[in-house]
Amino acid sequence: MTTLTSHELADLIDGLAGLPYGGEAVDQRTHALQAGWLAARAGADDELLLAATLHDIGRAEPVRAAHPGLPHEDAGAEFARARLGDRVAAVIALHVPAKRYLVATDPAYNALLSPASVASLRRQGGPMDASEVAEFDARPWAADAVAVRRWDDAAKDPDGPVLDLADVLAAHRRLTGGN
Ligand SMILES: [Fe+2]
């Protein structure tokens, strides 16, 4: 495991401030902490709370720089695998396919998508077909990725609640056992 200190994690999340979130009204830091808040409200455990908060961490400059050319979900997963474990990494990697999964399996989900999210769905390949849905369902932590995806889609309110950074750091300390 590569060590990730509280300080480094805080810097990484704070570094998302002011970074645009593709056509939405929130910046990346607010989006991250609002996804984390929604996870906490739903009773998520520490790993899932961290996965929700860090699902787009592949867009943070230091993570992008460390994984040039990778899509943000894969860069974020690579970053997380060495520091936060396989479950957090898998959920981050799957949060993009989870959108294509939900569009294919939940009729109500489409109505929740923002215009920017509908536009990006086309670029992402549109709804999954039946074999892709079955393949997704068989992956470890698929249900966690779907939960994070729903929080991701809901975390776009500039006036909405956000998790305190201190709560993210506390979850990280419990998970990694200190520092
Ligand atoms: Fe997101």
CATH of the domain at 69: 1.10.3210.10
Residue 163 lies in a domain: yes
pLDDT at 21 over 70: yes
The Å distance, Cα 89 to ligand 1 centre, comes to: 15
Range 30-65 burial, b when 16+ CB lie within 10 A, else e = bbbbbbbbbbbeeebebbbbbbbbbbbbbbbeebbe
- Total-model pTM: 0.94
User: What's the mean per-residue pLDDT of the chain?
Assistant: 95
Residue 1 lies in a domain: no
Residue 177 lies in a domain: no
Count how many domains the chain has.
1
The Å distance, Cα 153 to ligand 1 centre, comes to: 7
Domain of residue 158 covers: 6-172
The Å distance, Cα 31 to ligand 1 centre, comes to: 7
Q: Give the tens place of pLDDT for each residue, 101-147.
A: 999 999 899 888 888 888 888 888 899 999 999 999 999 999 999 99
Ion ligand 1: residues, CB < 5 A = 56, 152
The Å distance, Cα 55 to ligand 1 centre, comes to: 6
Residue 178 lies in a domain: no
Give pLDDT, residue 179: 59
Q: How many residues does the chain have?
A: 179
